[in-house]
Chain A
């Protein structure tokens, strides 16, 4: 029914708790899954004593590397369960990026978590979830992440 599912993850263990539900949905529906993390764009190099010690592209590469490794770990576990899974890391505004990837990859469903108002200002804030809920022209699966572990 939902042949292509886009899962928006923020790299945090609570954020991962949507994955078991996606697994349940995907196995029952024979879906393929795309795991996406949207990183904050790095605006400035890291300066120490007036000199740049890490440049924007280096920082972004590092962030992309971490995020990819994380997503690939999750994808591997899904694949072990017989669910085809691809990964993607992008930089930009979370809402715009998620919607763009959803459109470009022609997905049938977006899956994401939402956390309470106490948070670290990470990508999957309530405002991001709310924006996706209102603007996405397709169904959305949302799981409350705080206190609701693996459902």
Chain B
């Protein structure tokens, strides 16, 4: 099984200059926690809800909600994203992609073909594949 057999193909992405508020909205809109960040058609980073949570102030901030929103809207996603993320190609064996995610604690892997984003492989997807593969295994019925 290769990455291309189970990657998500229509991937929501975000432009590097979009503000953090926009990134959060995009994640909510698409129901995802990871967004590849693109600039001039190329993947330049990966942003997840972890980076957004780190950027958001704590509940104890002395800023008002309005002030928080205003400031978050001035900060582009490029400032908090993980730069130059690890990526794989569609032909990467899924086993190797799984090892890569495991060994480097990666939650999502952009899939590039010829430098273009063609998919995204997430931990959730990989675990779903595992659940399917283990079906029908002796003793797997709960």
Contact = CB atoms under 8 A, between A and B. Distances in A.
B88 to A, nearest CB: 6
Contact of B99 (A13, A20, A147, A148): A20
A149 B86 contact: yes
B87 A147 contact: yes
B91 A151 contact: yes
Q: How large is the interface on B (under 10, 10 to 19, 20 to 34, 35 or more residues)?
A: 10 to 19
A87 B82 CA distance: 34
Contacts of A13: 104
B31 to A, nearest CB: 27
A24 B95 CA distance: 10
B139 to A, nearest CB: 22
B97 interface: yes
A151 B89 contact: yes
B79 interface: no
Interface residues on A, range: under 10
Contacts of A23: 96
A76 interface: no
Nearest to A151: B92
Nearest to A146: B84
Contacts of B128: none
A23 to B, nearest CB: 8
B57 interface: no
A149 B99 contact: no
A13 B96 CA distance: 15
Given A20-B96, A147-B87, 15 more contacts: A13-B104, A20-B93, A20-B100, A23-B96, A24-B93, A24-B96, A147-B84, A149-B86, A149-B100, A150-B92, A150-B96, A150-B97, A150-B99, A150-B100, A151-B89
